[in-house]
Amino acid sequence: MTTPVLEARDVTMRFGGLTAVRSVDFTVNAGEIVGLIGPNGAGKTTFFNCLTGLYVPTEGTVSYKGTVLPPKPHLVTQAGIARTFQNIRLFANMTVLENVLVGRHTRTKEGLWSALLRGPGFKKAERASEERAMELLEFIGLAHKRDHLARNLPYGEQRKLEIARAMASEPGLLLLDEPTAGMNPQETRATEELVFAIRDKGIAVLLIEHDMRFVFNLSDRVAVLVQGEKLVEGTAEVVQADERVVAAYLGEPFEGDPGEAEAAEVEAAEAAADATSTTSSTKGEAQ
């Protein structure tokens, strides 16, 4: 008895002559942690952007709990899908608590006038929001830093805070784009525990990752994207044993971190692509 939470049907995304995602069918069921892997440039982030309404897919549909989603980010969030970004996006000059409160605004019913007049309804809603935000900060282990500015947190904690902010919209599905990028092994292990704990709260998780060990440890199912197409999908054992996957990753070790050198190389390549791309502003927004 599997209940689909997310269903992507025949999703294709083209940028001019380039097909970044090609006819991808993809499902995440309730209670699942699903991994999405693939070499750099495979189309993983583009696919995420199609799921979250940042891009309108050239073809195909995305449904959440049986309803087709309108391709608008705020409507997707409202429906129950939250995400984090490959590059951290926090409000650097806001406090930790404020960052989580920002994530809650899609779930608070108080309107503009109520907020401006700061009537009793607003104050009550504000108190409830703050309580919920503090619960989330306790959950990720950052409650003691509620009043610190986001920019002063170490990198690993900024990543955690992003997850708390995403959870503040009370999602049924959480999408994580490379959550362990730039983390040291201890931070990666802590993130693993955190993802299991999120799943245990009844939130389905879809994660894009570069760190193979992390993905295979966590995921009930793994899908492999290569050149925009879904090559294989299955349990960690099935995917690891597939020769096509091994071939696609030839030269990229299956175990451990991509390493700092490679991360720097990727950053440089992305910066170069940004500089030459005519759609660099859209791309920058969507990463």
Ligand X SMILES: Nc1ncnc2c1ncn2[C@@H]1O[C@H](COP(=O)(O)OP(=O)(O)O)[C@@H](O)[C@H]1O
Binding residues for ligand X, per CB under 6 A? 15, 18, 20, 38, 40-46, 273, 277, 279, 282-283
> Alpha-carbon distance 14 to 59, whole Å?
9
Cα–Cα distances in angstroms (integers) from residue 269 to residues 13, 69, 258, 266, in the given order: 21, 33, 15, 5
Chain residues 19-78 in contact with Mg ion, contact rule CB under 5 A? 44-45
Least Å distance, CB 54 to Mg ion, is 13
Of the pair 68, 272, the CB lying nearest ligand X is at 272
Of the pair 237, 267, the CB lying nearest Mg ion is at 267
Of the pair 86, 129, the CB lying nearest ligand X is at 86
| Amino acid at position 115, single letter | A
> Alpha-carbon distance 50 to 60, whole Å?
10
Least Å distance, CB 193 to ligand X, is 25
Residue with the shortest CB distance to Mg ion: 45
67-68/59-64 β-pairing: antiparallel
Least Å distance, CB 164 to Mg ion, is 22
Least Å distance, CB 179 to ligand X, is 14
Least Å distance, CB 48 to Mg ion, is 8
> Alpha-carbon distance 194 to 141, whole Å?
10
Of the pair 45, 52, the CB lying nearest ligand X is at 45
Cα–Cα distances in angstroms (integers) from residue 121 to residues 109, 111, 124, 210, in the given order: 10, 10, 5, 46
Of the pair 49, 129, the CB lying nearest ligand X is at 49
> Alpha-carbon distance 26 to 217, whole Å?
20
Residue 273 site contact among Mg ion, ligand X, none (CB < 5 to 8 Å, cut-off depends on kind): ligand X
